[in-house]
Structure 1
Amino acid sequence: MDYFKYILIAINFLTLISCVYAIWKINKVLKKFK
């Protein structure tokens, strides 16, 4: 059952990274238009 906990942590970590990356990309695009 420990594996399930680690899988959830990994999914949360990847989701966090992709959210940060998406925000960074959006900021870069917005700065280009300003």
Structure 2
Amino acid sequence: MLPLRASSPGVSGVSVMVHLSFEFRVHPGALAV
């Protein structure tokens, strides 16, 4: 994981989206509700 700055909410938000997309690609059934 890349180090995130607490003063950069935009960067952390993007990292969250990337993390979610990565999890969805690795485990498609994990986000399937």
| TM-score exceeds 0.5 | yes
Paired letter, 1:19: L
Show structure 1 runs of 5+ residues with no match.
1-5
CA distance in 2, matches of 1:26, 1:16: 15
Which runs of 5 or more structure 2 residues have no equivalent in the other structure?
1-6
Higher relative contact order (CA 8 A, sep 6+): 2
Aligned residue pair count = 23
Runs of 4+ more than 6 Å apart: none
RMSD: 1.8
Q: Which has the larger radius of gyration?
A: 1
The letter for the 1-side match of 2:19 is S
SS in 2 for 1:19: helix
TM-score (structure 1 length as normaliser): 0.58
- Whichever structure has more helix as a proportion of its residues is 1
